[in-house]
Every structure is written in structure tokens, then in C-alpha cells.
């Protein structure tokens, strides 16, 4: 099946399933595969020219206008929607069906019944951009990952990706700043600036924001890291 993936999480998942896309985005971290632009600016004409059997998109990562253009050109499109850890199992089963795979053969972990902890131990701040500062709201997959691990987020009362100031963050008194490697590449050079808010732990942005076959391992890795750093005291029950 000729599949084009415009979602990094999907590309990683498909490759793990043995499905090699005929093209991906430049953000999919697969330099050996043909690229058709970015998640927000795909080359629609190039995609149509590949005559794919399916283009896989995501309602957050990709634009509706690009999906509409592909559909108008007669290209089948499958949209993956994942807003929480609990959505991953069902979404991956639907994706498997869309690419002609048997979900049972893939041994997909069904995470749809995963519940949230009764209470959170601590509260974090997760910056996702700088100049302006942006963060995640409570309805994002990343915030769901934190809750699953036993962490609240200081902007759980906001939606999606709000713009904030460090003064506003400090006023909410987070216990820790989790600085991810993407979408903005936070690193050691930002430590002093972020430590003005709270102690900093650098995390793999893919583990925090990419879903799919990565999810079970990501939850384990993040949980171990946060326990090793003293942010969490024990594994989630």
C-alpha cells in the first residue's frame, strides 16, 4: 500500500509495523525517505503526483485546507485524532485498519481503558516555545501524559497551546519545569532562565508529545526519569 504520512508519530508507528511510507514530512526524522514538505506546509501537488493509496494526517499537526485539497484531488485521507493517552489504543486500531493491517497481529496495546491517578503529586510547567513563551493546556496529549504519571500542569485550566509570560508561570508556583527537546529545542543554555521559575528537568519531547507505538515506552521512560530526578516519589499504580 502506498502511504504518505504527514505526522511524525504516525511515521514512527508505521515503520514499526513494517509499513514504509512512500513520502513523509521533514519533521519525521527519516532522512532516508522522500520528503514532501512540512506538517503545516506540505507540497500537495507532489503528494498528488505520488498517487498514494492513502495520506495519513492529524487534526492538530496538519491543516484542514491541505486535507481538503487532497480530498478534492481524489486522494484518500485518514485523519488520526489523539487528545489523551486513553485515545491511543483505539486510534492505532483505526490506523491499522486504514493501512490494511490486522490490529491483532500487531499486538497493539489497548490503552483506551487507562484511567487517571486519583491525585497528582506535584505540578509542572512545560514550555513548548520561546519568544513568545507558549505552553500546553489541559486538553492536550502532553498534559494527559503528565496526569498519567502523577503530575498536574499549572495551565491545565487553559485550552490547547496558550501564550504566557514567565512572570505568569512563576505566579502559579510550579514544582518543576519540564523542558522538552521539541518543538522548541530547549537545552542547557536555557537552564538559568527557566530556573528562575522552578528547578528544571530536560525531557525528550518525542516521549512527551509523540503518540502511537512509542506511548508505552515513553510513559515508562518519563516515569523513571522523573523518579530518578526526585520529581515523583513512586510509580503510578
**Does 19 have pLDDT greater than 50?**
yes
**Does 18 have pLDDT greater than 70?**
yes
Q: What pLDDT was estimated at residue 106? A: 77
**Does 16 have pLDDT greater than 90?**
yes
Residue percentage of the chain with pLDDT more than 90: 87
For the chain, the C-alpha Rg in angstroms (whole number) is: 19
If pLDDT is split at 50, 70 and 90, which confidence band does 103 have?
Answer: confident
Q: What pLDDT was estimated at residue 116? A: 55
Q: What pLDDT was estimated at residue 110? A: 54
**Does 171 have pLDDT greater than 80?**
yes
Check if the beta carbon of residue 43 is closer than 8 Å to that of residue 70. no
**Does 112 have pLDDT greater than 70?**
no
Query: pLDDT digits over 173-196, tens only?
Result: 999 999 999 999 999 999 999 999
Query: pLDDT digits over 199-223, tens only?
Result: 999 999 999 999 999 999 999 999 9
* Mean pLDDT, the chain, whole residue set: 92
Q: Which stretches within the chain are classed as H helix?
A: 8-16, 44-49, 64-72, 88-98, 103-106, 141-149, 166-171, 191-195, 205-209, 215-228
| Average pLDDT value for residue range 116-133 | 85
If pLDDT is split at 50, 70 and 90, which confidence band does 119 have?
Answer: low
Question: How many whole angstroms separate alpha carbon 22 and alpha carbon 124?
Answer: 39
Q: What pLDDT was estimated at residue 38? A: 96
Instruction: Report phi then psi at 199, rounded to 5.
Output: -55, 145
Q: What pLDDT was estimated at residue 15? A: 97
If pLDDT is split at 50, 70 and 90, which confidence band does 109 have?
Answer: low
Nearest to 149 by CA among 181, 191, 114: 114
**Does 121 have pLDDT greater than 90?**
no
Q: What pLDDT was estimated at residue 135? A: 98
Residue with cell 514499526: 16
**Does 113 have pLDDT greater than 50?**
no
Number of helices and strands in the chain (H, E): 10, 10
Q: What pLDDT was estimated at residue 217? A: 92
Instruction: Report phi then psi at 165, rounded to 5.
Output: -115, 155
Q: What pLDDT was estimated at residue 145? A: 94
If pLDDT is split at 50, 70 and 90, which confidence band does 235 have?
Answer: low
Amino acid at each position: 500500500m502506498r502511504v504518505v504520512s504527514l505526522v511524525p508519530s504516525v511515521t514512527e508507528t508505521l515503520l514499526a509495523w513494517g509499513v514504509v511510507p512512500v513520502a513523509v514530512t521533514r519533521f519525521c526524522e527519516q532522512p532516508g525517505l522522500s520528503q514532501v514538505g512540512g506538517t503545516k506546509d506540505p507540497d500537495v501537488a507532489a503528494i498528488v503526483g505520488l498517487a498514494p493509496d492513502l495520506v495519513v494526517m492529524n487534526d492538530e499537526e496538519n491543516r484542514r485546507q491541505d486535507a481538503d485539497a487532497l480530498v478534492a484531488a481524489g486522494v484518500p485521507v485518514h485523519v488520526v485524532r489523539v487528545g489523551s493517552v486513553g485515545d491511543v489504543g483505539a486510534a492505532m486500531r483505526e490506523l491499522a485498519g486504514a493501512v490494511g493491517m490486522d490490529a491483532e497481529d500487531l499486538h497493539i496495546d489497548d490503552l483506551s481503558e487507562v484511567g487517571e491517578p486519583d491525585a497528582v503529586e506535584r505540578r509542572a510547567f512545560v514550555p513548548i516555545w520561546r519568544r513568545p513563551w507558549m505552553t500546553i493546556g489541559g486538553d492536550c496529549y502532553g498534559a494527559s501524559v503528565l496526569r498519567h504519571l502523577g503530575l498536574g500542569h499549572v495551565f491545565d485550566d487553559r485550552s490547547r497551546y496558550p501564550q504566557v509570560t514567565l512572570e505568569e508561570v512563576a505566579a502559579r508556583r510550579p514544582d518543576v519545569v519540564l523542558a522538552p527537546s521539541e518543538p522548541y529545542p530547549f537545552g542547557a543554555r536555557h537552564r538559568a532562565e527557566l530556573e528562575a521559575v522552578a528547578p528544571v528537568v530536560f525531557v525528550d519531547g518525542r516521549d512527551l508529545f509523540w503518540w502511537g507505538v512509542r506511548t508505552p515506552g515513553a510513559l515508562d521512560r518519563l516515569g523513571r526519569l522523573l523518579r530518578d530526578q526526585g520529581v515523583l516519589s513512586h510509580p503510578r499504580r
